[in-house]
Amino acid sequence: MNHGLDAIALDAATRGDPQFVVPRHPAVIRSVVTATVAGGLLVDGLVSRRVLRGSTAQRTLPEVLPLLDGTRTWEQIAEASGLSTDEVRQVLGVLYAAGLLGEGPDVSTSGAMHAFLGRTFDATRRHASAGAARDALLGARIALVPSPGELPGFREAMLREGLDLAPVEAVLAEPRPNDIVVALLGAARPETIDTATAVRDRGVPVLPVIAGAERLVIGPVGHRDHNPCPRCVALAAESPGFGGAPDSFPSASPPARPGLLASLAPEAIALEVVLHAAGVGTARSATEAIVITDAPVATRYEYVSRRPGCPSCGISGPPKAAPSALVYEESVAFPPARLRSPRTHQQHFEPENIALSHEQRDFGGEEVPLPQVDGVPEHPGRVTVGALGAILGTAFGLKPPRLAKPGKVRRWAPTGGNLGSPQAYVTVSSVPGVPDGRYAYRADRHVLQRLDGTVAGVPDGVRLVVVGELYRVWKKYNTFSYRVVALDAGVALTHVAVAAARHGLTLRNDHGWDETTIAAELSLDLGQQSVSAVVHLEDSS
């Protein structure tokens, strides 16, 4: 549950961002449940529950909400409510970020499907309103190969959603943007795999389905330029352990229910089709295979990679299963621009993600203040407290308040998601102005905080250990965090090198290190952190 959205902080973070576009004629989505609670407005029925709090929201919401019917511009809302345009933008930004606003009057027909689209189009923001999502869905054509009769109940499930199946030949003759072909695959259906792969290669998305007595596999949807082809999916599904071994399921899993998958399959597949065709919600089959088992009853998600040697996927090499490195790279690769969801970018402005940019570890030790970043080197060629302050501030520090908007964290060296993943640890020996010892750099205060331990036998100068705050980044980017941390470390090291050169210092880079030993020296938590680099700053003479 998201416990609060601050209007002023959100406005500061999003103002001028071309990808955070608040509707010009905002309308409250009628199918979203709202309720007044102590200290705010509860918004429920979307991807996550929200509570809109804060003095700005509490003061302006009663005046603004009744005016949000899609017929007024921001300026007209400001005039009718007696609020300033800035205040209106702030409260509209909060409502939009919460998923409560659409563009223009809601003129679409009522009903369960329209209510569903109203609650789910915000998950992607590919459409400006539920009505636009409905138009996209009704304009899509759905086909099933080899034939509708091969999957009992699927056509009826689609008809209940207001959609009928089209012949695959009609789809291929004139593909439309939201068309999708469901392909029923399996070891006994080699001809369907060939047909489905040909459909994908023609540019029509294919949703692979493997329906067995004990297992149902849905996805991942294959595009000509993204995700594996149907043949790669079918081969992956046949591999040992796909979807999880039976003994890996929780002991509390429900027992097998004969006939469950046969009755569940049409509705489960229809749901994924609607999500893809309408461009709404969170379709797990967009990136993974959904694996539903009957013994025991459980749902797992399995990433499927393209396989080397596949002529359709275009990866060279002898035919074989994808190695781990390729699987990881495939799993975090960006999709083509047409498949991206604007909402993904807007997640940068979720309150918990904004809060992450302010997060700092507190090491609690004795503090050594460092000189500010600006200024001319006083002792070029020598490692001094001034040089160390300039290097750490340039590579890991924050800009002063006069160079940052209120509530906005600005860094000298950019980092992924503005999360400041590189954390600097230094071991100092014989540096004027800094007592020998081990320290962690505290960026928000531009100080060194002393760590426990001695530094006997350490060469003169500074050993700088760059540690990636993996867990902080994971909370926002999940598995993509490893890439972000590695990129951030490279950017930080570049800033270290530039600042060291400006001060005339020698910079030496270690090509390898014992992470366990370093973790023990610096009290690192290798469950949340990783050592990205070890460099040494030394006098040039």
- Same domain, residue pair 413 and 511: yes
Q: Is the pLDDT of residue 260 over 60?
A: yes
Which of 304, 339, 374 terminates a domain? The answer is: 339
Q: Which of 231, 206, 226, 201 is nearest to 218 (CA)?
A: 206
Whether residue 123 lies inside any domain: the answer is no
Which of 314, 339, 364 terminates a domain? The answer is: 339
Q: What was the pLDDT predicted at 345? A: 75
Do 408 and 400 contact (CB within 8 A), yes or no? Answer: no
- Same domain, residue pair 273 and 239: yes
Whether residue 73 lies inside any domain: the answer is yes
Q: What was the pLDDT predicted at 228? A: 93
Whether residue 382 lies inside any domain: the answer is yes
Residues 347, 204: Cα–Cα separation, whole Å = 29
Stretch 67-95: mean pLDDT? 90
Whether residue 127 lies inside any domain: the answer is no
Q: State the chain's mean pLDDT as an integer.
A: 86
For residue 22, give the CATH number of its domain: 3.90.930.60
Residues 70, 87: Cα–Cα separation, whole Å = 18
For residue 372, give the CATH number of its domain: 3.40.109.10
Q: Give the type of residue at 139.
A: G
- Same domain, residue pair 321 and 357: no
266-297, pLDDT tens digit by residue? 999 999 999 999 999 999 999 999 999 887 78
Residues 127, 122: Cα–Cα separation, whole Å = 8
- Same domain, residue pair 377 and 434: yes
- Same domain, residue pair 326 and 362: no
Whether residue 51 lies inside any domain: the answer is yes
Q: Is the pLDDT of residue 512 over 80?
A: yes
Stretch 139-147: mean pLDDT? 91
Q: Which of 25-34, 103-112, 174-183, 310-319 has the lowest mean pLDDT?
A: 103-112
Q: Is the pLDDT of residue 386 over 70?
A: yes
> Widest CA span of the chain, in angstroms?
82
Question: In terms of residue numbers, what domain contains 309?
Answer: 139-339
Q: What was the pLDDT predicted at 2? A: 42
Q: What was the pLDDT predicted at 122? A: 86
- Same domain, residue pair 86 and 153: no
* Percent share of the chain, pLDDT over 90: 44
Confidence of residue 252 (pLDDT cuts 50, 70, 90): low
Can you give the pTM of this predicted structure? 0.81
Q: Is the pLDDT of residue 3 over 50?
A: no
Q: What was the pLDDT predicted at 298? A: 87
Stretch 338-347: mean pLDDT? 81
- Same domain, residue pair 444 and 497: yes
Please say whether the dihedral angle defined by the alpha carbons of residues 376, 381, 383 and 388, taken in this order, is positive or negative: positive
Whether residue 125 lies inside any domain: the answer is no
Q: What was the pLDDT predicted at 268? A: 94
- Same domain, residue pair 327 and 406: no
In terms of average pLDDT, the best of 120-129, 166-175, 462-471 is: 462-471
Q: Is the pLDDT of residue 139 over 50?
A: yes
Q: Which of 149-158, 159-168, 298-307, 451-460 has the lowest mean pLDDT?
A: 451-460
Q: Which of 30-39, 155-164, 168-177, 504-513 has the lowest mean pLDDT?
A: 30-39
- Same domain, residue pair 291 and 380: no
- Same domain, residue pair 387 and 479: yes
Whether residue 330 lies inside any domain: the answer is yes
Stretch 360-367: mean pLDDT? 88
Confidence of residue 30 (pLDDT cuts 50, 70, 90): confident
Stretch 400-427: mean pLDDT? 86
Q: Which of 230-234, 340-344, 425-429 has the lowest mean pLDDT?
A: 340-344
Stretch 32-37: mean pLDDT? 80
CA distances from 157 to 208, 271, 377, 401 (A): 17, 9, 73, 58
Whether residue 118 lies inside any domain: the answer is no
Confidence of residue 4 (pLDDT cuts 50, 70, 90): very low
Residues 347, 354: Cα–Cα separation, whole Å = 9
- Same domain, residue pair 374 and 518: yes
User: How many folded domains does the chain comprise?
Assistant: 3
Buried b (16+ CB within 10 A) or exposed e, 496-530: bbebbeebebebeeeeeeeeeebbebbebeeeebb
- Same domain, residue pair 409 and 524: yes
| Residues in contact with 452: Cβ distance below 8 Å, sequence separation at least 6, in sequence order | 365, 438, 523
Q: What was the pLDDT predicted at 196? A: 92
Residues 469, 485: Cα–Cα separation, whole Å = 7
More confident residue, 464 or 296: 464
Q: Is the pLDDT of residue 435 over 80?
A: yes
Q: Is the pLDDT of residue 509 over 90?
A: yes
| Residues in contact with 378: Cβ distance below 8 Å, sequence separation at least 6, in sequence order | 384, 386
Q: Is the pLDDT of residue 1 over 60?
A: no
